[in-house]
Chain A
Amino acid sequence: MAKLVQPTRRHVVTGLGGVASTLAMPNIGRAQARRIVVRDLGIGTSFNDAYGREFTKATGIEVQPITGANDPIGQIKQMVDARTYTWDMSIVARQVANQLAADGQGYLESLKLESEPSWQALPDTFRSPFYAGNDVVATVLGYRTDRVKSAPKGWADFLDVARFPGRRAMRRSPVDSVEQALLADGAGPDKLYPLDFDRAFRKLDAVKKDISAWWTSGAQSTQLLQSGEVDFCPSWNGRIQAAINAGAPVAIMWEQALWQSEGWVILKGGPKADLCREFIKFALAPERQAIFARATGYGPTVPAALDKIEPAVATTMPTFPANKASAILVDVDFWTQTRDQATERFTKWVVG
């Protein structure tokens, strides 16, 4: 990515820097040496309960969480480009991590945790030299049990309007929606990638008139199901679980769950990289992941963590054996290469 700031402007800007920084109230917190700023998902107090508070107790290193809901690719690139480490590390989707690591000189610090037992306990699927998986997010179908008579058993049922009448919503994005359309059209789960966009859009064409709403944020999908605005809505399992936990008559279809993982990354060149490594080592402990999973509904990446969760809750985890039987891992690198064109095509299709 080209840098935003043009070199010609730099002189002007730095020249005025002296004046401006005296006007700026210095953020005293940033000066503390043993303190890290972690961008997290902000799901309730889950981050502090599972990691932040306990980490400070154990190491004396302070942790300030910063909440953000969107994929922070742009923000992390900004910070590394400008060498302004507002955040020291972040939890991001695997796709974001791969993209940040691969772009230009790379925007992520090598984790170098290979010798750590907690790293070795992490399955290969959930780690890379720059990324330590924290949780599994499954895109699943949520449906209203008060209006849907028989349980849907796959994405084909979701898009079968005749056998499963009712109002439907989908995500306003090609990611997940294209996979769902292909699986509904009978594509083999093991031969899904590279995605056949022509086939997917043919299938989507056939059902477009039956989709009542296209959601853009996770909270919207929860609200759609919880309020009964729609009867079927695919979303991230934690979002649907939130509606269930609030007492809404909603159930999850675990068949053909589309898996993505989220995990820890460290911003390249940051001054606190070593403290961040300490944090990641700590956060990979099964008992820590168990607390996070319980609070968010997203499955722990470390297998042993599942044993530390009471059975009633463990059964709602994507990584619970019965739930993962037919799960499909989303090919995030495929999406990194195709997302631009796919999004353009999807936008054209959806607004047309």
Chain B
Amino acid sequence: MTHPGRHLLLFAPAALLLGLFFVAPIGGFLVQGFLHRDGALTLEHAGRMWAAGTYVQVMVTTVKISLWVTVLSVLVGYPVAYVLANADPRRKSTWALFVLLPFWSSFLVRTFAWIVILGRQGPVNAALVSAGLSDQPLDLLYGWAAVVIGMTNVLVPFAILTMVGVMERIDRGLMVAAGTLGARPVQAFFRVYLPLSMPGVTASALLIFITALGFFMAPALLGSARETMITQLVIQQVMELVNWPFAAILCLLLLATALVLFVLFDKAVGLSTLSGEAGRSASAGSGMGRRICGTLGELAAWLAETLRLSPPRPGEGGVGTKGLAILAILFLIVPLLLLLPVSFSRQEFLSWPPAGVDLRWYREAFSSPVWLDAAGRSFIVALLTTAVCLVVAVPAALAFQRLQGGGASAAFAAMIAPLLVPRMVIAVALFYVYARLGLVGTVAGLVIGHAVIALPYVFIAVTAVLKTYDRRLDQAAASLGASPLVTARRVTLPLIAGGIVSASLFAFVISLDELNIALFASGGLQSTLPKLMWDEATLRFSPLLAAVSTLVLLVMSALVLLAARLRPAS
């Protein structure tokens, strides 16, 4: 080990960004939860929150929904990530495209699409009734299932991209070796592959759980009042009631709950898989995780034997795995399949079935300088955000690998802290800092805000890949005389390039889809695409949303295909 001081220096960009644009404004906001009108310390807001009971109840609901969404997202995402990671390069780009398509269509628009899909006049009910499975339309919307489906649909791509980076680094030879040693394929999968992929699973589970805790649009649009989630109440306090102290207390309730669950999660599954102690890179995480995998392996092998199922094979995966992956991808692109015909609709509202074929909504999008302007700005901001995130997160992730024990946990918690605070609260608190710095209504203001929000995703994605990276390669380089900088540039970075690509995608897509900063920290002065879509969705709900979202999809796909073609074969 070299000087620990130098490693800490790698945290400097992250400390600067988060200190100035996250800790300071959010701290100022949260402190208000304990202040009286006259500035004296008080517990009155906390007392009121606790006594009401409702807020704790809503918090419990939030946790329940988030847990379900997490489990489902990982289960749905795993086979896709497996196939994606093990496909040969040519097929891989096709698979990747299908995973990415839903990822870069606006999550606002996808949530709205579910209203149409699950509605009483929607295609699902139409199919059920015409197939004679039901005499009248079912209440699929406005309930627990709709919320979980809508949220899972949005979050699965995050799960896939986090897991795939880890899976790509698993040596396929290990599965072959397990087979040679007599393991049935199912056993080999559960006892070798699954444990090796656990860092990806735990990372994505954590990422999704914490992201899900902060959701507010899906429960508001798809749920009944019973599915109210805590962030909806925070927003209500800020927007409708303008009660900052109480909003702060509710935020603290969310933060405290997240932290407690974070610790429990660490104990149960072992977050140490992420904190990467040297030499453990190929091991399977905590003892408990490994035991669970082992038991699952026996169970699955027995099941497969009894049912005579074809198990996943080393390589691209068996028919069963591919079938699951294709089903998962269908689930992901259903909202997009709906949007395409609706975008050509002549009618005034987003609804099913679409009436007529017309280009009016595309014409409206292209003839509007406001939309074109916002599209340009959104892409520029997304590019800049990606750059900022990489500059900040990659060194931090490298330094994080060298930390151990309490230091590692603390650093990890600090880096993912922005995940735990509702984005709207970050945006509102940032406004005050921006006002002082003259950043309100500037591109720089948008970029900084987006970078704070995207940073945890980028950090987790890079860390998950580094976790599977064999540090002995660095040591070998060092012993051959390479300086740390040369080692990073010539050895480490090229080997983790795949992880950095998916991390960049996170940053780009999160920025492209981020609404709150434009809405609250910029006073609406610099319109971004999501801001315009939000206005459109809350004011008009027209097929223009579908048209714009389809256009963004086309542009993104073209860009990625172009990039894939331009990339030199390696």
> Does B351 sit at the interface, judged by CB under 8 A?
yes
* B437-A16 in contact (CB<8A): yes
> Does B283 sit at the interface, judged by CB under 8 A?
no
* B540-A219 in contact (CB<8A): yes
Which chain B residues numbered 433 to 465 have a C-beta less than 8 Å away from chain A? 433-445
Known A217-B538, A347-B54: A27·B437 in contact at CB below 8 Å? no
Which chain A residues numbered 81 to 106 have a C-beta less than 8 Å away from chain B? 81-84, 86-87, 99
> Does A328 sit at the interface, judged by CB under 8 A?
no
Q: In the assembled complex, which residues on chain B have CB atoms less than 8 Å from the CB atom of A71?
A: 239-240
Q: In the assembled complex, which residues on chain A have CB atoms less than 8 Å from the CB atom of B525?
A: 27, 37, 66, 86
CA distance A228 to B539 in the complex (A): 19
Decide if the interface of chain B is mainly helix, strand, loop or mixed.
helix
> Does A122 sit at the interface, judged by CB under 8 A?
no
Binds A, one of B28-36, B82-90, B184-192, B558-566: B28-36
Known A24-B444, A39-B524: A17·B437 in contact at CB below 8 Å? yes
* A222-B433 in contact (CB<8A): no
> Does A311 sit at the interface, judged by CB under 8 A?
no
Residues of chain B at the chain A interface (Cβ within 8 Å)? 20, 24-25, 27-29, 31-32, 35, 37, 39, 52-54, 57-58, 61, 115-116, 119-121, 139, 141-142, 220-221, 224-226, 228, 233, 236, 238-246, 347-352, 428-429, 431-445, 519-520, 522-526, 534-535, 537-541
Known: A1-B244, A68-B519, A216-B220. 11 other contacts (CB 8 A): A16-B20, A67-B535, A74-B242, A79-B523, A81-B432, A84-B440, A173-B240, A219-B539, A229-B121, A340-B241, A340-B243
Known A5-B432, A69-B535: A351·B37 in contact at CB below 8 Å? no
Binds B, one of A6-14, A150-158, A254-262: A6-14
Which chain A residues numbered 262 to 320 have a C-beta less than 8 Å away from chain B? none
From A6, A12, A23, A82, contact of B444 by CB (8 A): A23
* B54-A344 in contact (CB<8A): yes
> Does A44 sit at the interface, judged by CB under 8 A?
yes
CA distance A217 to B537 in the complex (A): 9
CA distance A41 to B538 in the complex (A): 11
Q: How large is the interface on A (under 10, 10 to 19, 20 to 34, 35 or more residues)?
A: 35 or more
Residue of A nearest to B537 (CB): A219
* A172-B538 in contact (CB<8A): no
Would you give the shortest CB distance from A239 to chain B, in whole angstroms? 10
Would you give the shortest CB distance from B214 to chain A, in whole angstroms? 17
* B241-A86 in contact (CB<8A): no
* B436-A82 in contact (CB<8A): yes
What are 29 contact pairs spanning A and B, CB under 8 A? Answer: A2-B37, A5-B25, A9-B24, A12-B24, A24-B444, A24-B445, A25-B442, A30-B441, A66-B524, A66-B525, A67-B524, A70-B240, A74-B239, A84-B435, A86-B522, A99-B242, A213-B141, A213-B142, A214-B224, A218-B538, A220-B221, A222-B349, A228-B120, A229-B121, A243-B349, A246-B348, A247-B348, A339-B241, A344-B54
Known A67-B535, A87-B523: A228·B121 in contact at CB below 8 Å? yes
* B349-A4 in contact (CB<8A): no
* B431-A13 in contact (CB<8A): no
Known A2-B244, A37-B525, A66-B524: A214·B28 in contact at CB below 8 Å? no
Would you give the shortest CB distance from A324 to chain B, in whole angstroms? 25
> Does A73 sit at the interface, judged by CB under 8 A?
yes
CA distance A223 to B120 in the complex (A): 12
* B437-A21 in contact (CB<8A): yes
Would you give the shortest CB distance from B361 to chain A, in whole angstroms? 14
CA distance A227 to B29 in the complex (A): 41
User: Chain A 29-52 against B: per-residue CB contact (8 Å), 1 yes, 0 no?
Assistant: 010000001010111100000000
Q: Rank and list the top 4 A-B pairs by shortest CB-CB distance, nearest first.
A: A86-B523, A82-B435, A246-B348, A84-B435
CA distance A247 to B240 in the complex (A): 33
* B433-A5 in contact (CB<8A): yes
Q: In the assembled complex, which residues on chain B have CB atoms less than 8 Å from the CB atom of A227?
A: 116, 119-121, 349, 351-352
Known A1-B242, A16-B20: A246·B347 in contact at CB below 8 Å? yes
* B58-A24 in contact (CB<8A): no
CA distance A323 to B7 in the complex (A): 73
CA distance A76 to B239 in the complex (A): 11
* B28-A246 in contact (CB<8A): no
* B351-A226 in contact (CB<8A): yes
Q: In the assembled complex, which residues on chain A have CB atoms less than 8 Å from the CB atom of B115?
A: 223
CA distance A164 to B116 in the complex (A): 26
Q: In the assembled complex, which residues on chain A have CB atoms less than 8 Å from the CB atom of B432?
A: 3-5, 78, 81-82
* B523-A24 in contact (CB<8A): no
Known A69-B539, A86-B523, A219-B537: A14·B348 in contact at CB below 8 Å? no
Would you give the shortest CB distance from A213 to chain B, in whole angstroms? 5
* A213-B240 in contact (CB<8A): no
> Does A326 sit at the interface, judged by CB under 8 A?
no
* A75-B435 in contact (CB<8A): no
CA distance A17 to B27 in the complex (A): 19
Q: In the assembled complex, which residues on chain B have CB atoms less than 8 Å from the CB atom of A25?
A: 442-444
Q: In the assembled complex, which residues on chain A have CB atoms less than 8 Å from the CB atom of B57?
A: 351-352
Q: In the assembled complex, which residues on chain B have CB atoms less than 8 Å from the CB atom of A12?
A: 20, 24
* A219-B523 in contact (CB<8A): no
User: Chain A 228-255 against B: per-residue CB contact (8 Å), 1 yes, 0 no?
Assistant: 1100000000000011011100000000
* A351-B61 in contact (CB<8A): yes
* B24-A4 in contact (CB<8A): no
From A75, A226, A339, contact of B523 by CB (8 A): A75
> Does A77 sit at the interface, judged by CB under 8 A?
yes
* B226-A351 in contact (CB<8A): yes
* B28-A13 in contact (CB<8A): no
CA distance A217 to B522 in the complex (A): 22
* A74-B535 in contact (CB<8A): no
> Does A348 sit at the interface, judged by CB under 8 A?
yes
CA distance A147 to B520 in the complex (A): 42
From A4, A37, A86, contact of B25 by CB (8 A): A4
Q: In the assembled complex, which residues on chain B have CB atoms less than 8 Å from the CB atom of A5?
A: 25, 28, 432-433, 436
Would you give the shortest CB distance from A157 to chain B, in whole angstroms? 23
CA distance A343 to B31 in the complex (A): 23
Q: In the assembled complex, which residues on chain B have CB atoms less than 8 Å from the CB atom of A30?
A: 441
Which among A20, A25, A69 has the greatest number of chain B C-beta atoms within 10 A? A20
> Does A128 sit at the interface, judged by CB under 8 A?
no
> Does A120 sit at the interface, judged by CB under 8 A?
no
Residue of B nearest to A103 (CB): B242
* B120-A226 in contact (CB<8A): no
Q: In the assembled complex, which residues on chain A have CB atoms less than 8 Å from the CB atom of B435?
A: 78-79, 82-84
Would you give the shortest CB distance from B477 to chain A, in whole angstroms? 36
CA distance A173 to B245 in the complex (A): 21
* A74-B225 in contact (CB<8A): no
Which among B433, B526, B534 has the greatest number of chain A C-beta atoms within 10 A? B433
Would you give the shortest CB distance from B302 to chain A, in whole angstroms? 44
From B32, B37, B52, B524, contact of A4 by CB (8 A): B32
Q: In the assembled complex, which residues on chain B have CB atoms less than 8 Å from the CB atom of A13?
A: 20, 24, 433, 436-437
Q: In the assembled complex, which residues on chain A have CB atoms less than 8 Å from the CB atom of B428?
A: 4, 74, 78
CA distance A226 to B225 in the complex (A): 21
> Does A59 sit at the interface, judged by CB under 8 A?
no
* B141-A229 in contact (CB<8A): yes
Would you give the shortest CB distance from B353 to chain A, in whole angstroms? 11
From B120, B228, B240, B440, contact of A229 by CB (8 A): B120
* A24-B240 in contact (CB<8A): no
Residue of A nearest to B37 (CB): A2
Would you give the shortest CB distance from A28 to chain B, in whole angstroms? 11
Q: In the assembled complex, which residues on chain A have CB atoms less than 8 Å from the CB atom of B351?
A: 223, 226-227
* A347-B233 in contact (CB<8A): yes
Known A219-B538, A226-B351, A348-B54: A14·B436 in contact at CB below 8 Å? yes
From B240, B522, B541, contact of A223 by CB (8 A): B541
Known A216-B220, A228-B120, A351-B57: A69·B240 in contact at CB below 8 Å? no
Q: In the assembled complex, which residues on chain A have CB atoms less than 8 Å from the CB atom of B239?
A: 70-71, 73-74
Q: In the assembled complex, which residues on chain A have CB atoms less than 8 Å from the CB atom of B119?
A: 227, 229
